[in-house]
Amino acid sequence: MIDVVGVRVLARAGLLMPVRPDRLVGMALAAARWGITPATGYAAGAARHPGRVALVDDEGALTWREVDTRTDRLAGELRVRGLREGDAAGLLARNGRGLVEGAVALAKCGADVLYLNTGSAAEPLGQVLDREHARLVVHDADLGDLLTGGRTTVTTEEAARLATTSRLGPPAKSAHTSRQVILTSGTTGAPRGAARSGATVEDAIAALSAIPLRGRETTVIAAPAFHAWGLGHLSLAMLLGSTVVLQRRFDPHRVLAAVEEHRATALVVVPVMLEKLLGALKERAYDTSCLRVIASSGSSLPGDLVERVHASFGPVLYNLYGSTEVAYAAVASPQDLAADPRTAGRPPHGVTLRVVDAAGKDVPPGTPGRIFVGSGLSFSGYTDGTDKDRLDGLVSTGDLGVLSEGGRLTVLGRDDDMVVIGGENVYPGQVEDVLAVHPSVAEVAVVDVEDPAYGVRLVAHVVPAPGASLDEEELKELVRSRLARFAVPREVRVCEELPRNATGKILRKDLRG
C-alpha cells in the first residue's frame, strides 16, 4: 500500500502522468509475462514510449522498442543453445548494450542472472560459476580468457549479431521468474551471490525519496553496472523511462563530455571516480550545469572531497550508504554533507535503520553499535545457503555506527575491524577520517596487523597529495590530538596508490598481507 508520502514522491518524479489506454495494456501484459525483471522494464518501456532512446553506449543509441525486439531474438537463440528456465547464467560484461541486452534476454529465458565482476581473476570467477551451477555465460570477447570449464559461452559481440539477424522470437512464458544475483565485493573474503527477485514500487519510492531523479531525463552511469549501485540506477532508469549513457571504460574526460553532450541531469559514480573527475575539470572546462544529481556510493568520502565537489559542480552530491545485502540504508543529501562531510545521512522513506548493542537493544544517540537495516530490497540470503545476521526482520550491514540526536548516521567501520588496544576500543575508520583532512594526504587506509609485542598495532597506508611530502611524526601527532594516544598508528607507510577492486573499494586484506 502506497502512503501519502509515496504518492508525493512518485508525482515529483513524474511517474503519475496519464498513459494512453493501449500503451497501458501493453505495459500490463509485459509485467504479466516477465514478472519484476529487466525484461519487463524494457518491454513496458517499448509499449509506453517505443521511439524514445533507451540507452547510448560506445556503439551508438538504441530505442526502447529496439532493445525489446533485439532481446526477443537473443532470448530465442539462448534457449536454442540449451538455456532452460530456472538455470543460472553468468553475465560478464562492461557497461554497454552487451550487459543490458544480456540481462534482458536472460530474464526472458527465465534464467537467474549472475552479474560477474569484470575485474575478477579466472580462479574466483570459476569458483562462483561452479558454485552457482551456471549453464551458460554471456561475456565480452576480451574477457573470454577468464572463463574455464565446459559451459556454453556467447560473446556480447555474437549476441549483438544474433539480436539483429536471428529469426527466432522469445521463448514461451516461463514458470520461473528470473532472479538477479549480485556478487558481494569480496573485500573481506570470496565473493558470494546475493539474490533478489526484483524491485517493487515501494523500493523505488525509497530511492526517489532521497535522490530526486525525474522521469524521461538522462543519466550517465559511470559506476560498474554489474554491481548493486550501477545496476540499481539502471533499474531506476527503466522505471522512470530515462535514457542511460554507458561507457565500457571509465575515462573522466569522456564522462564529463557525455554529461555535456547529452545534457545529463544525473551522474552515477563511486567515490574514487570523483577525484578523477575533479582532476579532469582542472585540465579542461566542461558545461556540467545540467547536473542536478551526482549519486555516489561504495565508501565514505575522504577529506575535503565534498567541499571540492560542491565548489566545482554545485550542491548536487548525494552519497549513499548501503551494501549488496541491504541495498539502500542511508543517503546523505547535499545539505547533510555540508553540515557533516562524514555523515552517511538518514534512512530513505520506507527503510528501517537501527543501531543496537550486543543484546540487540537500541543504543542512545552518540553511542556506537551494530547497524541493522530492513526494506523491500534487502536480500533473502546468499545463494550458497548462508545468511547475514538478522534482528527482528532487519539485516546486519556488518558495520558499526552511531546516530546523532538529529538522526544522522555516522559509520565507524566494519564491526570486525574494531581493534582493542590497551583495553580501549579503536575504530580504524575514525583514524582515517582524522588523517584524511591533512593537506599532504590524498588517500589513506588504516588496518590492524599482528604485533609480537603489543598483540596488534595500527598501520596507516598513505597516498601523498600531488607534490606533497609526508611527515610521519606530524601525522601521528594529529591523531593523538584529535583522538587518543592508543589510536595513533605505530607505522605510516607511504604508497603510490591503494589497492582497490573494480567498484573502487579498498582491498584491506591486501594491505594486511
SS3 81: coil
Which range, of 9-13, 22-26, 43-47, 427-431, averages the lowest pLDDT? 427-431
Looking up cell 556540467, which residue turns up?
A: 288
Burial class (CB in 10 A: 0-12, 13-18, 19+), 166: middle
Mean pLDDT of 336-358: 93
Of residues 378 and 37, the one with the higher pLDDT is: 37
Residue 438: beta bridge partners?
A: none
Whole-model pTM: value is 0.85
Q: Could you tell me the pLDDT band of residue 513, with boundaries at 50, 70 and 90? A: low
Looking up cell 565482476, which residue turns up?
A: 117
Mean pLDDT of the chain: 90
pLDDT tens-digit readout, 287-346: 999 999 999 997 778 768 899 999 999 999 999 998 878 888 999 999 999 998 889 999
Mean pLDDT of 265-285: 94
Mean pLDDT of 369-398: 83
**Helical segments of 143-188, H only:** 156-165
Mean pLDDT of 123-140: 92
- Which domains are present in the chain? 4-178 (3.40.50.12780), 201-414 (3.40.50.12780), 419-512 (3.30.300.30)
d(CA 377, CA 328): 8
Looking up cell 537493544, which residue turns up?
A: 361
Of residues 3 and 156, the one with the higher pLDDT is: 156
Kind of pairing, strands 88-92 and 134-139?
Answer: parallel
pLDDT tens-digit readout, 72-115: 999 999 999 999 999 999 999 999 999 999 999 999 999 999 99
d(CA 502, CA 224): 8
d(CA 260, CA 334): 22
Closest CA to 410 of 342, 487, 361: 342
Mean pLDDT of 239-251: 96
Looking up cell 609480537, which residue turns up?
A: 452
**Helical segments of 344-471, H only:** 428-436
pLDDT score, position 387: 74
pLDDT score, position 380: 67
pLDDT tens-digit readout, 157-191: 999 999 999 999 999 888 898 988 888 765 444 56
Kind of pairing, strands 243-246 and 293-297?
Answer: unpaired
| CB of 52 closer than 8 Å to CB of 243 | yes
- Backbone torsions φ then ψ of 147, nearest 5 degrees: -100, 130
| First vs last C-alpha separation in the chain | 50
